[in-house]
Amino acid sequence: MAEQRAADPHSGAYYQKERRKYSAEEEAKLERQHFWRIIDAFRSYRFHVHEQVKRAERQFRSLSQRHQRVLPGVLSNLARVRQCAEHNQEILDAVVHNSLHMFENVEYGEREDPRKARPSTTFDMDKLKSTIKQFVRDWSEAGQAERDSCYKPIIQEIQRLFPSDQYDVSKVSVLIPGAGLGRLAWEIARLGYSCQGNEWSFFMLFSSNFVLNRCEEENSLTLYPWIHQFSNNKKSSDQTRPIRFPDVNPQSLPLNTDFSMVAGDFVEVYSELECWNCVATCFFIDTANNVLEYVDTIWKILKPGGVWINLGPLLYHFENIANELSIELSYEDIRTAMLKYGFIFEVEKESMQTTYTENECSMLRYVYDCVFFVARKPTLHFNGQEEEDLQQNCPPAAKSSRREGSNRLT
């Protein structure tokens, strides 16, 4: 049970809130507004999908009688989509219910005035739909193949680099920035490593809190993650097929496991020098405005001799987002920079085929041809000038107010 786990000083808190504050009052207000905006998005999901279904029904009824007659299955399928949305809303309501007081050290107060709630944007709704698909990726049997392609290579490297017959793995600290719904971090913790996930998005944080702390019975809950996809369906029933979760009981970690999730911006939260044996990034580094800020942070927080494991594409989230810094580097650029920092590449594979929240029945599939590497921060670092630069010139990461890049294609 999460309550027990939170009380266990060794397990750490599942959630801590560690955002560095700058202009405290305004910052807190913006954060509170953002929190409630995302809560509102969860709550207005049903309305949004119903509007979409109503539009589709209206358009169908505008067809000639002859056309309607040769399409006997369309309206019943739309009715089924509406039912599935109702069911999804029940899950989302449960997620929200458990999110309102989820942080140990921050409260977001009450909704100032519920009537002030603005209709959620398409942008937020798309984020929410992506979040629903994350349940498949991280916590369903249907996501197993995807996890095998994305998480397994990382886990295998950790086990190879820190084998349990040579290390007290409970002393090996692993950090997972961009932890999503937490499965990768959870799997690493299950193997006995000390593992912390970090996540910035409230969509993800609410959902991972729900799965990790409020779900126990295997495959007891149902979501319909594909109902929002009206294109590229072979069978109509592909759109409304269910997935069950969680495929494992997230509460089944041994009692002495050191597993935690921390909310906040990776660059801001992690400032303590040289305290991690391993940082593992999976589909994460392209979420940066400037990926070198992530490299800076990883370099700083890794212990000498520590390793950075990375797997993912370079689908920069802020590309084409107005008024946002977006530095789009090739892998070659990033690699060149990493060598200048002093990283030593120990493993490098330039073509690992993976998917990301794939709908396996869809007529369109996104295949990521990922880069995978293990790069070590040397124990002794002779690159004196650069090192000095890093220590002296590393400004406090510029405070970034809440902003969100584009969706990963799912």
Residues near a second copy (CB under 8 A) are: 56, 59-60, 62-64, 66-67, 69-74, 77, 230-236, 238-239, 286, 290, 292, 313-316, 319, 325-333, 336-337, 340-341, 350, 362-371, 389-390, 393, 395, 409
List, as one string, the DSSP characters of 244-289. Answer: EE-SS-GGGS-TT--EEEEES-HHHH--SSS-EEEEEEES-GGGSS
Rounded to whole angstroms, the Cα distance separating 86 from 47 reads: 9
Reported as type and span, the H/E element at residue 229 is none
Least distance from a second copy to the Cβ atom of residue 294, Å: 12
In the complex, what is the shortest distance from the CB of residue 333 to a second copy, in angstroms, rounded to a whole number? Answer: 6
Do the Cβ atoms of 143 and 56 come closer than 8 Å?
no
Residue 57 backbone zone (phi > 0: left; psi -120 to 50: alpha; other: beta): alpha
Give 62 or 166: the residue with its C-beta nearer to a second copy: 62
Closest CB to a second copy among 261 and 329? 329
Q: Which is nearer to a second copy, 319 or 404 (CB)?
A: 319
Please, which residue, 93 or 404, has the CB nearer to a second copy? 404
CB of 251 to a second copy, least distance (A): 36
Of 245 and 356, which has the nearer Cβ to a second copy?
356
* Shortest distance, position 303 Cβ to a second copy, whole Å: 22
Q: What are phi and psi of 107, to 5 degrees?
A: -120, 145
Min CB(316)–a second copy separation in Å = 5
Q: What is the DSSP letter of 409?
A: P
Q: Work out how close the CB of 356 gets to a second copy at its nearest, in angstroms, rounded to a whole number.
A: 10
Residue 81 identity (one-letter amino acid):
V
Q: Residue 294 CA to chain centroid, in angstroms?
A: 16
**Contact residues for 101 (Cβ-Cβ < 8 A; gap 6+):** 107
Q: Which is nearer to a second copy, 7 or 63 (CB)?
A: 63
